[in-house]
Structure 1
Amino acid sequence: MFFKQGRYSGFITPLSYFLDLLVINLFTNFLPINFQNPWLFHSYISLAWLILSFKNEFYVVHRYSKVVVVVRKLFTQFVFFFLILYAYIGFFKQPLMSRLALGKYFLLVFLGVAFLKFLNYFLLNTYRERIKGNLRNVVVIGKSKKANQLIDIFNERREFGFNFIAQFTPRDKGFELLKCFQFIVKNNIDEIYCSVSELKNDELTAFINFADNNLKTLKFLPDNKNIFSKKLKFEYYDYLPILSLRDIPLHNSLNGALKRLFDILFSIFVIFGILIWLGPLMALLIRLESRGPVFFIQKRTGFDNREFQCFKFRSMAMNDSADDRQAGKNDMRVTKIGKFIRKTSIDELPQFYNVLFGNMSVVGPRPHMLKHTDEYANRVDKYMLRHFVKPGITGLAQVRGYRGEIEKDSDIQNRIKFDIFYVENWSFFLDLKIIVQTILNAIKGEEKAY
């Protein structure tokens, strides 16, 4: 039953383990590392790799996983592998070991394992898409919008390896559970996808029992109108299962510490690498064109709905409506130098001081003026969720085109949609992706950067 329908998926993970361990152990022969006890090192590094792989779920890559998932797993695995590798010198007192050779060994292992990881990923995708191998026969129970979208994914993303067989509609008069179950058994269906909103409780129970008794994989497609569409966290209070509505990744202390460390290092780099010379130049240009301070300091809403002073290079002539009205297209308040620094986002650079001081992050939901926070909190559903994390200099909504002036309700609604997605799905690699996209957007220019 472990290798149904001639599939050999069960061999992929053990083979990956074997090849990676082979790389880890064979590459020691290519460099003069000067082991005192080679067998001790091989045993140590092999055991460490196995434990790390299990802990980091290094070999858990699903058929629908994206490339970024593979990159994240490689990064996590090799950060800890690097620490464990050099810890060997201290643990086993190896003064003669070459640190430089050990570093080269680490680089070789990383390149070897990464090559095998991506090769396996792309070969499997190609095998499923072109040769039609390693397929899963699936049926969909339900005819909702989400169910139809899922069927489109099965049919269009052939590299996922899902072979869509049939769709059943529980609301049809002719629908019978028994006939549905008979069809699933007769056609060797592997996975059943049920739309939760279209099935009654007793029907859901029947599907669960059927799947358990016939070794079928059962998955549920949530409806957006109910609680199951949320990212739920499953916990136990003693023996009682509890579902938490929302899990914020940055509320995890390790994630929060990693993000804060990155913020400090990145802000120091920008302050001493760019602002130390650009700041005086901008001060001169701003003061030559118009009277007033170099910096524009404005109260904005930050983490946990707390107020803070947000820094920017002043891009407008002094006016009384700066705290009430956003900059619009062809805004007469914007100076000549202001147009340039707003177009290139240079005006935002002083906010790296906010990042260093701890009331902002490099990446996060953009902070709004106090007036707008009060206004949108009453108009936009779930607006306040964005304050679960620190505001950012750039954010997911901004790189997706929702920056600048709010011209219509859909602008703020879409911005909040991306902000909430970021809050609930934060990862270090998502931050890096947003930073890279922000730099590219600044170089090529953005339509709403005025």
Structure 2
Amino acid sequence: MQRHTGRFSIYIRPFSYLLDLIIINFLATILLINSLNSFYYHLFISFSWIVISWNIGFYEVYRFTKSSEIVEKIGKQYAVFILVNFAYIGYFLKFSDPSTILKFISTAMFLIAFEKLFIYYFLRKFRVVYGGNFRRVVIVGEEKHTSHLVEFFNENPNYGYKLLQSFDLKTNKKEKIQECFEFVKENKIDEIYCALADVSNTDVNNFIDFADNNLKTLKFLPDEKELTSRNLKLDYYGYIPIVSLRNIPLDDTANKLIKRTFDLIFSFIIIVGLLSWLTPILALLIKLESKGPIFFKQKRNGLNYHEFDCFKFRSMTINEIADIEQVSKNDPRITKIGKFIRKTSIDELPQFFNVFLGEMSVVGPRPHMVSHTEMYAKKVDKFMVRHFIKPGITGLAQTNGYRGEVETETDIINRVKYDIYYLENWTLLLDIKIVFLTVFNTIKGEEKAY
């Protein structure tokens, strides 16, 4: 059930940000006169570059983005960056030689444009020659509605899509849909493309449920009659419109950067300011009461269903069922010091190391034991959707009464509902609110904190 997509754009974009800022600041140092080479001006050009790029989507370049769109983005970035620079210099420095600034910005933009287009075309060539970073896809629908997309995928391997199968729904629609589902699971398909004109509302819901529960990306070829009547996210592959029904804010590069920065700062503060002195004290108390390691680590499922070692302070005696059986109220396995650190959630603090390493986030859906994840994936509808983002130390479900032991099926169903709401409505302010509510609930004390 593991999801392997071979995507590395998450590394390319931060690298592009960093490289562009290095180019800008280096050229400012060698091309501008000393009066402009102040710390504040370098800070200004770095900050303004990032703000402008976020607003015009300068780094929002995908495998289906046209080269003409990239050139348009470069032109917009160039024009706005020139304006803000002239405004800053004219207001704060009263500098009267525009040719120097124009030369600096033009040279910087030329190098950045070359770098951006080089990466774009290099990735296209890399996909064709080496077969890297491909997404395995299937198409579902009648040939008259899907032939253009089939042709697009077959004739444009540089976009990085590998069409493995096309399912024609002209006859035996139910059987073909079921055949498609089986094929997707057996062949590790990444994305499903479905023609809306050929499926009913019930079929659409079945596709959505299947994609959510199996952690697959689902996209639609829209019926032209439906385009004006629905609020949908629309992209274009060449001239072919493609619809995505689930919009995840954390798929956006800028939002990922904001959340990761928040995670790094917050986890660093906790590790240095709290764990640096608390860990030796707890280590002594844990060791004095029972034999075994200070830390307890357990395999859990994170982003894209990948497994990772989740860290905690050990709160139980060593037992063989720790990875199978969930802790319950008055559990005899819990030690005296363990009861205290579980009640106060101190046992969770080592997970800030997981956050710092990028395996978790401060806020997100709580990760479950691997055995429980597999069980809930079969029993609870849309449970797998939680794995589209990183798991968290705390989450929206936990601040709304669904922390700790899952006692009934309602507990896990409501937890999933809160997790999906968070995933589709993420903001930094929501993260901050959840952190404050978590601290407040910990101080107040919670019934299910055991």
TM score, norm. by length of structure 2: 0.50
Aligned match of 2:297 = 297
**Does the alignment pair 1:246 with 2:243?**
no
Conserved 8 A contact 1:250-1:256: yes
Alpha-carbon offset, residue 257 of structure 1: 1.0
**Mapping for residues 7-22 of structure 1, pairs under 5 Å:** none
Aligned match of 1:350 = 350
Sort the Cα spacing of 1:91 and 1:334 in 2 relative to 1 into closer, same or farther, 3 A. same
Q: Percent identity?
A: 59
One-letter amino acid of the counterpart of residue 285, structure 1: L
CA RMSD of aligned residues (A): 3.3
Aligned match of 1:421 = 421
Conserved 8 A contact 1:315-1:338: yes
Distance in 2, matches of 1:240 and 1:403, equals 45
Q: Deviations over 1:2-32 (max 9, x none)?
A: xxxxxxxxxxxxxxxxxxxxxxxxxxxxxxx
Gaps of 5+ in 1: 1-47, 57-82, 98-227
**Does the alignment pair 1:94 with 2:108?**
no
Aligned match of 2:200 = none
Alpha-carbon offset, residue 390 of structure 1: 0.5
**Mapping for residues 100-249 of structure 1, pairs under 5 Å:** 232-236=232-236, 241-249=241-249
**Mapping for residues 328-367 of structure 1, pairs under 5 Å:** 328-367=328-367
Distance in 2, matches of 1:88 and 1:271, equals 43
One-letter amino acid of the counterpart of residue 438, structure 1: T
SS at the partner of 2:92?
coil
Sort the Cα spacing of 1:90 and 1:290 in 2 relative to 1 into closer, same or farther, 3 A. same
Alpha-carbon offset, residue 248 of structure 1: 1.1
SS at the partner of 2:316?
coil
Conserved 8 A contact 1:231-1:246: no
Distance in 2, matches of 1:275 and 1:309, equals 19
SS at the partner of 1:94?
helix
Aligned match of 1:445 = 445
Aligned match of 1:408 = 408
Q: Deviations over 1:151-177 (max 9, x none)?
A: xxxxxxxxxxxxxxxxxxxxxxxxxxx
One-letter amino acid of the counterpart of residue 90, structure 2: F
Q: Deviations over 1:110-132 (max 9, x none)?
A: xxxxxxxxxxxxxxxxxxxxxxx
Q: Deviations over 1:15-74 (max 9, x none)?
A: xxxxxxxxxxxxxxxxxxxxxxxxxxxxxxxxx9xx99xx69xxxxxxxxxxxxxxxxxx
Aligned match of 2:378 = 378
Gaps of 5+ in 2: 1-47, 57-80, 96-227
Alpha-carbon offset, residue 422 of structure 1: 0.9
One-letter amino acid of the counterpart of residue 397, structure 1: A
Alpha-carbon offset, residue 234 of structure 1: 3.5
Sort the Cα spacing of 1:239 and 1:444 in 2 relative to 1 into closer, same or farther, 3 A. same
One-letter amino acid of the counterpart of residue 318, structure 1: I
Sort the Cα spacing of 1:399 and 1:231 in 2 relative to 1 into closer, same or farther, 3 A. farther
Alpha-carbon offset, residue 238 of structure 1: 6.1
Alpha-carbon offset, residue 92 of structure 1: 3.2
Distance in 2, matches of 1:237 and 1:374, equals 35
Aligned match of 1:286 = 286
Sort the Cα spacing of 1:96 and 1:241 in 2 relative to 1 into closer, same or farther, 3 A. closer
**Does the alignment pair 1:388 with 2:388?**
yes
Number of paired residues? Answer: 245
**Mapping for residues 263-278 of structure 1, pairs under 5 Å:** 263-278=263-278
Q: Deviations over 1:88-108 (max 9, x none)?
A: 8963383599xxxxxxxxxxx
Sort the Cα spacing of 1:239 and 1:310 in 2 relative to 1 into closer, same or farther, 3 A. same
Alpha-carbon offset, residue 241 of structure 1: 4.9
Sort the Cα spacing of 1:293 and 1:94 in 2 relative to 1 into closer, same or farther, 3 A. same
Find the structure with the greater CA-based Rg.
1
Sort the Cα spacing of 1:231 and 1:325 in 2 relative to 1 into closer, same or farther, 3 A. farther
SS at the partner of 1:308?
strand
Alpha-carbon offset, residue 247 of structure 1: 1.2
SS at the partner of 2:247?
coil
Distance in 2, matches of 1:441 and 1:89, equals 48
Distance in 2, matches of 1:294 and 1:313, equals 6
SS at the partner of 1:243?
strand
Q: Deviations over 1:319-377 (max 9, x none)?
A: 11100011100111111111111111000000000000110000000010000011000
